[in-house]
């Protein structure tokens, strides 16, 4: 049974906004979370236990009992019950309540989680290529910034985890093996669920989708980005992507189809973008290269204005802050002009060469 001590907020006036009350539930789970997702799982199991007939509907009494490990004033329990009893028939939807508890990963969290998955996948791909092993079970980055939806072996993924970097391990509250066990249990259970329809479950694997789902659950227990993001960085040896990198990925997804449309098969997407960037490039005096070359472009560097105009010519309209983020990620936080080819590779990365499949 999950036991949580009364929080200091217990002595404040009851809240009426269900979203604020849900945030309080997450806060209590966070402060008494144990290892990984342990408290969230126990919380979910409590809801299922009180759903005796399996219809996913709880009476007010059952709902209150399911919340017995969370200290909330009666008024807040009532407000939360009404939130999940939209028909007003005296029964709350347990599935909806649990779903509301599991909020999606924020954009910032999603970026660092994806960076972690790409990092371990790239390391696995390199190891597979070195050993001349099969490369079909690893993930690489596409040239358009998206990720191939394939999987890593569970043992391989866990082997790349630095469990000592978990804040609970660093604080001495749990051991590193508990962190690894929690990670493994999630993917083993997930593989079992997928095989429950009559097909064989197969060996547990770690896909991008599953990796995101796992850290979405962990995120319920880690409501603060100042804890969650450094935790991912320490566990997987990555750095949080710069805002410009995130924007770059979004721009690339939109830009590539437009570049290919403009090329009409005669040029590569990179050649089309290079020509446009050079048209809006600058010489050493900060003047447009096109001015000195009859419209063909001639400068070797391009500034924020040139990048913005280049993207505008393909129907993309980032604001100035987003363009500045891109230049900051290129090592120019003040927006100094950068080499055209450097900007080109950043906005339109080349398609990686995959290791052969055996």
* Domains located in the chain, CATH noted: 8-101 (1.10.238.10), 107-236 (no CATH), 243-347 (1.10.238)
Residues 6+ apart with CB under 8 A from 20: none
The three-state DSSP-derived secondary structure of 69-92 is CCCCCHHHHHHHHHHCCCCCCCEE
Residues 6+ apart with CB under 8 A from 171: none
Beta strands in the chain (DSSP E): 57-59, 91-93, 151-153, 205-207, 301-302, 338-339
What pLDDT was estimated at residue 132?
Answer: 44
Q: pLDDT tens across 15-34, in order?
A: 788 888 888 887 777 666 54
What is the mean pLDDT of the segment spanning 144-155? 58
Confidence of residue 324 (pLDDT cuts 50, 70, 90): confident
Q: Please check the confidence at residue 35 and state whether its pLDDT lies above 90.
A: no
- What pTM, to 2 d.p., does this model score? 0.59
Cβ atoms 88, 95 nearer than 8 A = no
| Range from 85-94, 290-299, 301-310 carrying the lowest mean pLDDT | 290-299
Mean of the per-residue pLDDT values of the chain? 77
What is the mean pLDDT of the segment spanning 133-157? 53
Q: Please check the confidence at residue 4 and state whether its pLDDT lies above 70.
A: no
What pLDDT was estimated at residue 256?
Answer: 87
Residue from 216, 208, 242 nearest 40 by CA: 216
Q: Please check the confidence at residue 139 and state whether its pLDDT lies above 50.
A: no
Q: pLDDT tens across 248-273, in order?
A: 777 888 888 888 888 777 788 888 99
What pLDDT was estimated at residue 107?
Answer: 86
What pLDDT was estimated at residue 37?
Answer: 67
């Amino acid at each position: 049974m999950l036991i949580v001590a009364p929080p200091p907020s217990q002595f404040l006036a009851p809240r009426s906004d269900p979203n604020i009350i849900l945030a309080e539930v997450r806060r209590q789970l966070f402060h008494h979370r144990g290892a990984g997702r342990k408290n969230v799982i126990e919380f979910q199991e409590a809801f299922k236990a009180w759903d005796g007939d399996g219809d996913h509907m709880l009476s007010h009494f059952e709902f209150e009992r399911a919340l017995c490990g969370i200290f909330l004033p009666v008024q807040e329990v009532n407000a939360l019950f009404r939130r999940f009893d939209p028909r007003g028939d005296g029964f709350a939807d347990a599935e909806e309540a649990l779903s509301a508890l599991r909020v999606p990963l924020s954009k910032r969290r999603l970026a660092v989680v994806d960076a972690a998955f790409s990092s371990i996948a790239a390391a696995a791909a390199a190891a597979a290529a070195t050993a001349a092993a099969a490369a079909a079970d690893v993930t690489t980055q596409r040239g358009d910034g998206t990720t191939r939806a394939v999987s890593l072996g569970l043992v391989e993924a866990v082997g790349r985890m630095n469990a000592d970097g978990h804040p609970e391990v660093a604080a001495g509250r749990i051991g590193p093996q508990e962190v690894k066990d929690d990670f493994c249990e999630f993917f083993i259970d997930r593989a079992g669920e997928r095989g429950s329809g009559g097909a064989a479950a197969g060996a547990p694997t770690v896909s991008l989708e599953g990796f995101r789902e796992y850290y979405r659950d962990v995120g319920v227990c880690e409501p603060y980005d100042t804890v969650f993001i450094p935790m991912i960085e320490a566990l997987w040896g990555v750095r949080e992507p710069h805002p410009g990198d995130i924007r770059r990925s979004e721009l690339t997804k939109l830009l590539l189809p437009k570049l290919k449309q403009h090329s009409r098969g005669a040029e590569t997407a990179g050649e089309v973008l290079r020509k446009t960037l050079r048209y809006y490039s600058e010489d050493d005096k900060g003047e447009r290269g096109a001015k000195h070359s009859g419209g063909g472009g001639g400068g070797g560097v391009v500034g924020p204005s040139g990048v913005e105009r280049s993207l505008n010519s393909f129907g993309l309209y980032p604001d100035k802050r987003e363009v500045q983020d891109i230049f900051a990620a290129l090592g120019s936080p003040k927006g100094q002009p950068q080499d055209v080819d450097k900007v080109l590779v950043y906005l339109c990365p080349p398609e990686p060469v995959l290791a052969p499949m055996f």
